[in-house]
Amino acid sequence: MNKPTIKQPLRRAFFALTTVGALFTLPKAQASPPVSASGIETDRECVIENVTHGPNTITTLKITADFTGTLTGTACATERDVGFPDGSVTINSTGVFTGTVNGSAPGTAVLTVVGEAGRGSPGGRFGGVGAAVSWVMDQGTGGLAGVHGQGAFGTVVDFAVGPGCGSNTNPCITPDYDFTFTILYSGQIQFAP
């Protein structure tokens, strides 16, 4: 048996194990502690389409949402609502938030909103009887890289029917809207590596 041939693979294996072991001893990047998030969001919404399927109505909307408070910036999103005969509505919205979080550097993040609003909601929207609408923020870039947030929407502070969107169905690029509302939000935000 050739001893130099055996020693070479043993040295390589030892070196590889030493390297892997050293990686386990390196300090790991720590996530920031969670902070409370709260503030006000004002939506301007344009109805793009209403489609009736049996007794239910599916409404597609284009939204711009202006945030103040812990979240400071604007989100542009598309929302799909399903309205049921009893007046309740399910809500599903996804868009891009551009701004800052708790004084961070500016960046972007994906903002997802899901929930249900019960009968009596203004315009079939948030804040009605039995409303439960939550938000999640993640997939950040720039100053929002590593952001993870979640929370809920609460009380509707104001609701108004607007002048209408006409053919300008994107309130992210025009001030037109079919309706607007202001709502309180709360939750927690954390930045993780």
Residues 105-133 have pLDDT tens digits of 999 999 999 998 875 544 444 444 557 88
Q: What is the spatial distance between Cα 182 and Cα 37, in angstroms, rounded to a whole number?
A: 17
Residues 72-111 pLDDT 10s:
999 999 999 999 988 888 999 999 999 999 999 999 999 9
Q: Give the tokens for residue 177.
A: 């809207």
List of residues 6+ apart from 92 with CB closer than 8 A: 79, 80, 81, 113, 114
**Helix residue ranges, H only, the chain:** 3-25
Displacement of CA 151 from its chain's centroid (Å): 10
In which residue are the tokens 């009893």 written?
86
Q: Give the tokens for residue 61.
A: 């909307």
Task: Label residue 139 exposed, middle or buried (CB < 10 Å: 0-12, 13-18, 19+).
Answer: middle
User: Residue 37 has what DSSP assignment?
Assistant: E
Question: Which of the four pLDDT bands, split at 50, 70 and 90, describes residue 169?
Answer: confident
Q: Give the tokens for residue 26.
A: 């390196």
C-alpha dihedral over 29, 139, 115, 185, to 10 degrees? 70
CB 185 within 8 A of CB 69: yes
